[in-house]
């Protein structure tokens, strides 16, 4: 999974994995709380869940944009003197 990847890509992937774990954990927590006590206020937990989703989406889009720009720069012809 990490073969032939740059250090930045590995760091972003590890960050995304941690945030993905948090998304699953918060989602499970909200589901358990809602099942045990339907009147409980879980608005803040759901806000945290959506915040984590936006963070992971931003990180992946940033990685994709960086890779596409890098590919575009490597395909430019060399300037003639």
- Can you give the pLDDT at residue 2? 66
Q: What is the pLDDT of residues 1-16, one digit of tens each?
A: 667 777 877 887 888 7
User: Could you give the number of structural domains in the chain?
Assistant: 1
The residue segments making up the domain with residue 44 are 7-59
Q: Over the stretch 14-38, which tens digit does the pLDDT of each residue have?
A: 887 888 888 888 889 889 988 999 8
pLDDT at 45: 83
Please state whether the predicted TM-score (pTM) of the whole model is above 0.85: no
pLDDT (tens digit, 9 = 90+) per residue, 38-81?
888 888 888 888 888 888 888 788 877 877 766 666 666 666 66
Distances (CA, A) of 7 to 3, 44, 69: 11, 34, 17
Q: Is residue 74 part of a domain?
A: no
The answer to whether residue 68 is domain-embedded is: no
79, part of any domain: no
């Amino acid at each position: 999974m990490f073969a032939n990847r740059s250090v930045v890509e590995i760091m972003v992937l590890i960050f995304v994995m941690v945030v993905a774990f948090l998304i699953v954990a918060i989602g499970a927590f909200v589901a358990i709380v809602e099942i045990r006590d339907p009147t409980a206020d879980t608005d803040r937990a759901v806000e945290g869940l959506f915040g984590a989703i936006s963070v992971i989406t931003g990180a992946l889009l940033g990685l994709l944009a960086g890779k596409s720009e890098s590919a575009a720069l490597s395909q430019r012809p060399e300037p003639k003197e």
